[in-house]
Structure formats: C-alpha cells, structure tokens
Chains A and B, each alone.
Chain A
Amino acid sequence: MKARVYVTLKTGVLDPQGQAVARALGRLGFSEVKDARIGKFIEMQLSDDVKDVDGHIKQMCEKLLANTVIEEYRYEIVK
C-alpha cells in the first residue's frame, strides 16, 4: 500500500517562499492569486502487512516528517 503525507506550515507561520510564488504568479497575470503556501508531499510505499498503519504514520510524522512546532500534517492511505 501507499501512504501520502502532506506537511504544511501552520496557519500564522510566515511562508516567504509562498509569498514569493504568489507575487510571481501575479506578475504572470494571475491577479486572482491572493496568497500561496508551500508544503511538502511525501509518498511512501509500505509493506501490506503493517498492523497499525495509522499509528505508525503518525509516529513517522511526529518523529521526522514534520516539525510540529511550525508544521502540521495530514495523510491518506491508498490500498
């Protein structure tokens, strides 16, 4: 199975990369872009016999994939 993890900056944490992208899109004529936030997408191939897949993915996020001081995460499992 696959797990797809999305790591994003918490609301309120300044995202200068996102701001730069939003400005660049504006310069390209996309005046509808009010804001952009940049995050990370991590796709993992997992063995099918994991017992507590939710628990494990949460641990992976807490221990390494996200820094919960500034980031939050969500994930989906694709069988």
Chain B
Amino acid sequence: MNIAVVRFPGSNCDDDAFHVVGRVMGQPARFAWHKESSIGDAEAVILPGGFSYGDYLRAGAMAANSPIMGAVKAFAEKGGPVLAICNGYQIACEAGLLDGALTRNASLHFECRDVHLLVEGKPTPWTRAIPAGRILRVPIAHAEGRFVHPNVDALEKEGRVVFRYVDPTGGQSEGANPNGSVASIAGTCNARGNVVGLMPHPERASEALLGSDDGRMLFASLLAEMGRRV
C-alpha cells in the first residue's frame, strides 16, 4: 500500500517513518512536501515528529495551516488512516483533526526516554491488530506533550483514549506519566477512529536492533487492516 509521509520544514522523524514503512514493512512510501496540495494516491498518511516551522508560536500551530494539511483533512474526512506522531500529534490537534491540546511538560524538562504504553480504547486501523491490554515499550522525546482536554470523561466514554502511560506492569502512577498529561493520556483518536495521534515514537522502536520492536505493531496493524478491507 502507498503511504505518504508528510515533510514539513523542521520535521526530523520523517526519514525514520519512511524507513519503517519502506524498509521494515516493505511498503511503497513517498514524502509529501508541506507546500503540496494533494497527497496523491496515498492509502495512509503519517504526520511525523520534529519541530515543524521551528515550533514558532506553539508546537504545530504553523504546520496546521500549511497547504498539505487541507489535503490531509479531506483524506481523513473520507475515513483514510492517519497516524500523527509527536510533533505530528501536535499538528493534528492544532489542525482540528484530533481534539485537545498538547502543552508544556509539567516537569518543564525535555523528556527523552522509554515509556510503557497500554493500548486500549476503540479499534483503530493503527491498533486493531494489537492484542487488548498489550503493553508497548517505546521512546518519547518531547518538551510539549502534556495532553489537555476540556472533556476527558467524554473522550474516555467514547473509547478515544488509545494509548495511556503506565508502569511496566500496566499500573497507572504519577511516576509513569512523563509529562503530566491528564489521565496519563499518551494518544487519542478521532470519533471515527481513523485518525490516531500519540506523543511517543513507534517508528523509533520498530526493529529489535533498536532495543524494542513494539512500535512495529502499529504499522503491522495498518497492513492487516488494509488487507481486511480489500
């Protein structure tokens, strides 16, 4: 399947995402430049991490208004699968593809380490093939990842919390929440479930050589989902 990795000025995980999709998963991938107004025949879109537009004003605020995002929104509205990672998650929230906002870590530190994620919530193209209750070990690397939402209860009830920071045994605790996110939320999806965003980096943990290949399950899930759809 064709996967488009959007590249903004300041993206720096675009090559990592491209590598995982192209080399690890063996799928045709291409970059879509932020000035393009179409994603072509892509069957899935990845908004990668980085510091788009230098994170000026607010992380993701400028990128959310770039020409390519019009095409990404139209693709998402038709139900196309979108995975928004780290800065991509910030962009997706700023663009209104996902609700909520990501703001400065409660610790004030740039948090760069492995975390454990509990996969939960409604089935999405990016998580459907991951067994319920599975805990993934993937890295985070962000200064503005504290998830804030005006109505977390509704989000929880709708099953739209897809990833939650937990300790290695699956328990929730303040120590396992690296940024002070409300309800330890690490990732969410839209009402339809086709757009998924998360602060941690599954693309950096998709090969055993890198210490964990748990992140690969998101991409494998997408491929399974597309196979299911065909």
Q: Do the two shown chains form a genuine complex with each other?
A: yes
| A→B interface (CB under 8 Å) | 9, 13-14, 16-17, 20, 40, 63-65, 67, 69-70
> Does B105 sit within 8 A of A, measured CB to CB?
yes
Set of chain B residues within 8 Å of A64, measured between Cβ atoms: 57, 61-62, 65
Q: Specify the chain A residue showing the minimal Cβ separation from B65.
A: A64
| A14–B101 touching, CB < 8 Å | no
| B105–A67 touching, CB < 8 Å | no
Secondary structure class of chain B's binding surface, majority of residues: loop
Given contacts A64-B57, A64-B65, A67-B58, A13 and B148 within 8 Å (CB-CB): yes
- With most chain A CB atoms within 10 A of its CB, the pick from B61, B93, B99, B105 is B61
| CA gap between A13 and B62 in the complex, in Å | 22
> 6 new A-B pairs (CB below 8 Å) besides A40-B57, A64-B65?
A16-B107, A16-B108, A64-B57, A67-B94, A69-B150, A70-B103
| B105–A70 touching, CB < 8 Å | no
Q: How many residues of B contact A (CB 8 A)?
A: 21
Q: Specify the chain A residue showing the minimal Cβ separation from B148.
A: A70
Picked from A16, A65, A70, the residue with its CB within 8 Å of the CB of B101 is A70
Given contacts A65-B57, A69-B100, A70-B148, A16 and B65 within 8 Å (CB-CB): no
| B148–A69 touching, CB < 8 Å | yes
Given contacts A13-B148, A14-B106, A16-B108, A69 and B101 within 8 Å (CB-CB): yes
| A14–B180 touching, CB < 8 Å | yes
| CA gap between A45 and B103 in the complex, in Å | 28
Given contacts A69-B148, A70-B148, A17 and B61 within 8 Å (CB-CB): no
| CA gap between A9 and B101 in the complex, in Å | 12
> Does B34 sit within 8 A of A, measured CB to CB?
no
Given contacts A67-B94, A67-B101, A69-B101, A14 and B146 within 8 Å (CB-CB): yes
Set of chain A residues within 8 Å of B73, measured between Cβ atoms: none
- With most chain B CB atoms within 10 A of its CB, the pick from A13, A20, A64, A69 is A69
Q: Give me 19 A-to-B residue pairs in the complex whose CB atoms sit less than 8 angstroms apart, sorted by A's number.
A: A13-B103, A14-B106, A16-B105, A16-B106, A16-B108, A17-B104, A17-B108, A40-B57, A63-B65, A64-B57, A64-B61, A64-B62, A64-B65, A67-B58, A67-B94, A67-B101, A69-B148, A69-B149, A70-B103
